[in-house]
Each structure stands twice: as C-alpha cells, then as structure tokens.
Structure 1
C-alpha cells in the first residue's frame, strides 16, 4: 500500500502530536517493503458505518485520511457517552496497546477513509526507530488530554468547558482564519453535552449566549463559525 506524505497539513495543526505521528506513519506507508506498507490497508466507510464495536477483537490503530469519526463508550443498558471526535490527520484506536478487545465504539460521522494499521506493524515501527519519538509524544499527549478533561470537570464551570470543547473542535475540524473558523460537520447539542458533561438544555442556553456575544455564529446548513481569540478569552475569564 503506497500513500504520499500529507503535504496539506494545516499550519494550525502542524505541531499536534497526532498529526506529526500521522505524517511519519504516512511516510512509512509510502516506503516500499516496509512492514507498515505491507500490512496496512484502506477502510472506506459511509456515514454511520462502524469502525469497531464493543466486544470486538480489533488489534489495530486507525489514521483518518478523510472524513470524521466519533468514539463513544456504551453501557450495558445501551446508553452512549461521546468521548472524542477525530478528523483528518488524527489517529485513534490506541487503546489496543493495552487490550485488543474493544470496550468502546467508533462510528463514521461522514463518508470516511481510514488507514487501518495492525498493532504488530505499529510496534515494529516503534522497535526499529522511525516512529518511536513521535509515538511517545502522541501517547503522552493523549494522556495529558484526559487529565486536562478530568481537571476541568472539577475546576471549571460547564459554560467554560463548552467554550473549551468548541475551541478544540474548531482547532481539529475547522477551516479558515482563527477569527472565522468554520466547522462544517454537524455536531448535535446532545453530542456537545456529552463532551462537556452537562445537559442538552444547558448547552443550548450557553450557545445562545455565545451567539449573542459574537463568539460563535451559525451559517446556512449545520456550519458553526468560531471566533477563536474571543472565545478563548471568554473561557479564561468567565467565572474567574
């Protein structure tokens, strides 16, 4: 399997650990004879298609080449809790490093194209050196993200957490200038509520407040426009 390294990585994402690792892995995928090139394959999914489901034995990592994928925890009662949304150049599925049987689900939010990387080939790339440093930075970065989320649940209001979530989605999924970042992917208020840890009604109330303050705007369709500097300043000062 041969793929060119991503030359169109947006500048705002260029230093993100997942993007740096994605660039390295994509380069290895394009190296004839490499273990990754021999073993990785392309997975194309329609909107709503499952990458994996709870209980499935799936020792793979996934690199998003196009589209959007959400990961969620699912209870025995069938309730879901949205964990994250992954856009182009992001990597997910790293929990297989600990346990190859999935305890979460991953679902395409739009027609998506993924590179499916077997765990054994990924570990081989680490052992032989080419992706070692990038992989460590990626994994430590994911741990730091989770620690930050837990800290915010205790130290920040739900309004501040929503602002932070929107900033993160704008950075990962948005396009355009920082004062006019367009998120074209439809994300429901219920999904935002799950990411924030609050109710849908509270999210609706805060979004209305953000729009009134010029921090976000709705465009035709499902597009949300985020003014990142103003929203960041608001998140840092609200409730302080």
Structure 2
C-alpha cells in the first residue's frame, strides 16, 4: 500500500469536517447488512460519506466471480467515480454490516471542494488511490496467493487497523470468503494460509473474531518466501 503523506491525511480530516457541516441537516441513510447502496450499471451521481459501519466495493465477472476492490469504514467517502462523467456505476457498493451513510450530489460536492479550497488536495488524494490500485494489480499478476494474502493483510492493517500492544488490530469482521475475493483465490486456500500464519505467530484472532496482524513478523516472513 502507498503510504499516505501528512498532506493527504490532513485533507481527509478537512474533507470529513466539511462534509459533516455540509450535510448536518441531511437525514442518515440506514443500510442493512448485505444490502446494496448501488449496483453495477446504476445511474447515480452522488458521493457517499460513511457515518458508521463498513462498505465494500465489488466488481463481478460475467461468470459471477466477485473481486473486492476496497473496503470503506467510518469517515471514508466513496462513489467519487461519478465525477468522471460516466453514465453508469462500474462496481457494486454493499454494506458489510449495518451502515449509516450521508449522500451529496456530485455538483454540490465539487462546489464544496472549491469553497473550502480542497480541490488540489482532492486531486492528490485521487492520485494516491490510483497508485494503490496499480499496486494491487501488480501484486495480483506477479506474486503467488500466499504472498498476496500477506500483502493484503498488511494493506488492511495500514488502512483500517489501529495500534495494539500486540501490533495492529483490525477491528472489522472480514470473512475468508471476502479475503478470497480480494486476492483472487479460493476460500479453502485462504483458510490454509491463515492457519499457517497463525501457527507461525504472524497473526492472532481475538475473542470478538477481530484480526491482529504482527506487522514486522509478517513483513519479514513475506520477504523470506519471496
């Protein structure tokens, strides 16, 4: 994962504050677990702000195989591809748990960025997102599935995790099926690799079924098997 620099971190904080003020009178949209916010092919010109919960963006092949592009959590925005002028959504956005959102029309979102002098920072933020996706594509085609899983766990730890005395805690419930959809392999292979990682002390699972990633140990292990 491309590390976010202080400018991008500041931008995300400023954008969240601005969106909260802009949408303070808007009603929260409640999305039940497994329900879709929008589907591939939908015509939708809104940007979404996650108040609470988690949302996955998924592309599905003609054969029905899913690929999870990214997971968004509290404070994130998604749906910004509507700013490209494309007439239809390219992906499906689905709630992974009960989620509350606010939505803002694309034109109003751009006006907000302009009024708050955030346009330049938004472009840098999008560049980081593109670099992340390029890195994901590179990983999919250049390394084996065990390495892809390890790299994905590190990416999730960096983007969604919080520091824990044991390393980094990912306080989200991500199933083996969802991990398989993220790295392009099968659930049984994910289970095999997760068991291996656990036996080697690279990860732990809490009683709440959250994941603890031992960042240094996992990084060193991936370097050894590369």
Normalised to the residue count of structure 1, the TM-score between the two structures is: 0.81
Q: Verify: 1:26 aligned to 2:12, yes or no.
A: no
Structure 1 residue runs of 5 or longer lacking an equivalent are 1-11
Which of residues 69, 79, 83 in structure 2 aligns to 1:83?
69
Q: Which residue of 2 aligns with 1:60?
A: 46
Matches within 5 A, 1:171-182: 171-177=158-164, 179-182=166-169
Does the aligned pair in 2 maintain the 1:53–1:105 contact within 8 Å?
Answer: yes
Equivalent residue for 2:94?
107
Q: Does 1:118 align with 2:105?
A: yes
Give the secondary-structure state (helix, strand or coil) at the position aligned to 1:203.
helix
Of residues 11, 29, 34, the one that matches 1:43 is 29
Q: Which residue of 2 aligns with 1:226?
A: 213
CA contact (8 A) 2:50 2:73 kept: yes
Going from structure 1 to structure 2, the CA distance change for 1:155 and 1:178 (only over 3 Å counts) comes to: farther
Moved over 6 A (4+): none
Gaps of 5+ in 2: none
1:217 to 1:27, Cα distance in 2 relative to 1, 3 A = closer
Deviations 1:191-224 (A, max 9, x none): 1112112222221221111111100012224222
Equivalent residue pairs, number = 223
Matched residue SS, 2:88: coil
SS at match of 2:163: coil
Given candidates 151, 155, 159, the residue that maps to 2:138 is 151
In 1, Cα distance between equivalents of 2:160 and 2:98: 15
**How far did residue 39 of structure 1 move?**
8.9
- Over the residues paired in the alignment, what is the CA RMSD in angstroms? 2.6
Q: Give SS of 1:209's match.
A: helix
**Cα distance in 2, alignment partners of residues 198 and 29 from structure 1:** 37
